[in-house]
Amino acid sequence: MLSRFALSLPNRSRGAIVPRSYRTFSSTRIKQDEYDVVIVGGGPGGYVAAIKAGQLGLKAACVEMRGTLGGTCLNVGCIPSKALLTSSHHFHDAKHHFADHGIEIGDVKINVDKMMESKANTVTGLTGGIEHLLKKHKVDYFKGKGSITGPNGVSVALSDGGDKNLESKNIVIATGSEVTPLPPVPVDNAVGKIVDSTGALDISKVPETMAVIGGGVIGLEMGSVWSRLGTKVTVIEFMDRICPSMDTELTKKFQQTLKKQGFKFNLKTKVVNNEVVEDGVILTTEAAKGGKEKTQKYDIVLVSTGRRPYTDGLNLEQLGIKTDKLGRIEVDKHFKTAVPSIYAIGDCIDGPMLAHKAEEEGIAAIETIAGFAGHVNYDTIPGVIYTYPEVASVGKTEEELKEAGVKYSKGSFPFQANSRARANGSADGFVKILTDAQTDKILGCHIIGPNAGEMIAEGVLGMEYGASSEDIARTCHAHPTLSEAFKEACMDAYDQPIHF
């Protein structure tokens, strides 16, 4: 798909400045230091918005209080957790599967300090790279906490001391989210016994036991890291299944797979109290509907019950910017708040709290500011769980289609019947395709299996272009590849698969 404004622009090389005639803003400013846009927050939504603003020739600034760019995702979220998932996967493979391939290496040990060093190096390299990109696109970067002083003003309490007042025609709020506290189990990352997702990234030694409170993406990913290294992990979930917003058939298979890996699950269970003792934490739980209390001691407790918008110090109420009951900033379809010159994107507005969703919104908001047609298709925002096997989804679940009364067809294909998966010794899982029963248009794609996070992109692209399952089924896929399972699931949706 061409970019949203590519058709209106002459052919130009990447990185070239947009011709002045195509910009919304002229070079004439009321004040020499007035910005076209100031972005408050330097996470995935904020820094991407800043770069896009620079690419479109807007005078832009980005304000970030952390001291490094990339937000939660790059500093204490997506990236460091994936680094640990990769390290722990290598360890688990070496310990349990290398011998299957005739590789004999003797006793395998994990050096946690070295693993953490590798993670830190990854983060440092990437955060520095983003700062370079801001400089490349002439975006001013201010380190400090930003507050909005009016429709066109941002005050920055600089990290190095002092204040800086910025004037801007437009402001984009991209302040992200923070961990939602769980009152019966207060987090103290410094002590290291009850930790949140940030604290779980800095555990200094492999615990014997760990309780993960919350059966969602973050808890299952971090639980997987330590489970692979030898920790006995127990997941405590209030609902009757893990990842309750995902397709039920998918999550049932996911839970079965994690059980095989040693996970224990206490579903329909809530935590009512805790006691921190010298050698761990004693948790008190009971049935979600109430009942007899139980106690169990764990070395470490990971609280991963969700996140909430972070809007502290922005002066939203004074500005007349409305938030909903969950604290999310209310915006229109163009990401404008109640104050027309102030926009909001990412985790601090409605929608899934995903880095790539924030990035898309950041680009769309800036394109709107620049006079183009910024748009995000929320039906094609994928979600991925980076466990092993990976889990990935986009579009509607079976449950959503049934509830909406949509007549649909379903196609599926197991990785056990995929030659590449069998050759790799990684054949757990399946691909599932949901289509409109009359038109064959793809409505949802759900995958559990090797490389699901990469494979889901084919489904996203197909859905973005309104593809039918037959369109993808009749597209040649290289052999042998894992993606052939996607093709065969599409064949099953409209006709029959070949290899199953």
Identify any residues that bridge with 190 across adjacent strands, giving them in sequence order. none
Q: What is the pLDDT of residue 32?
A: 57
Mean pLDDT, the chain, integer: 94
Of the candidates 305, 331, 110, which has an alpha carbon nearest to the alpha carbon of residue 206? 110
Q: What is the pLDDT of residue 210?
A: 98
Q: What is the pLDDT of residue 33?
A: 74
Percent of the chain exceeding pLDDT 90 equals 93
pLDDT digits (tens, 9 = 90+) for 418-461: 999 999 999 999 999 999 999 999 999 999 999 999 999 999 99
Q: How many angstroms from the chain centroid is the CA of residue 434?
A: 23
Say whether the peptide bond before residue 389 is cis (omega within 30 degrees of 0): yes
DSSP state of 20: G
pLDDT digits (tens, 9 = 90+) for 321-362: 999 999 999 999 999 999 999 999 999 999 999 999 999 999
For this structure, is 479 an active site residue?
A: yes
Q: Taking 80 as the threshold, does the pLDDT of residue 367 lie above it? A: yes
Residues 6 or more apart in contact with residue 111 via CB below 8 angstroms: none
pLDDT digits (tens, 9 = 90+) for 382-427: 999 999 999 999 999 999 999 999 999 999 999 999 999 999 999 9
- Mean pLDDT of all residues in 488-497: 97
Q: What is the pLDDT of residue 476?
A: 98
Length of the chain: 500
Catalytic residue among 96, 97, 375, 479: 479
Q: What is the pLDDT of residue 31?
A: 60
Q: How many CB atoms lie within 10 A of CB 162?
A: 9
Are 336 and 343 spatial neighbours (Cβ–Cβ below 8 Å)? Answer: yes
Percent of the chain exceeding pLDDT 70 equals 94
pLDDT digits (tens, 9 = 90+) for 110-121: 999 999 999 999
Q: Taking 80 as the threshold, does the pLDDT of residue 2 lie above it? A: no
Q: Which two tokens stand for residue 225?
A: 């890291």
The pTM (predicted TM-score) of the whole model is: 0.92
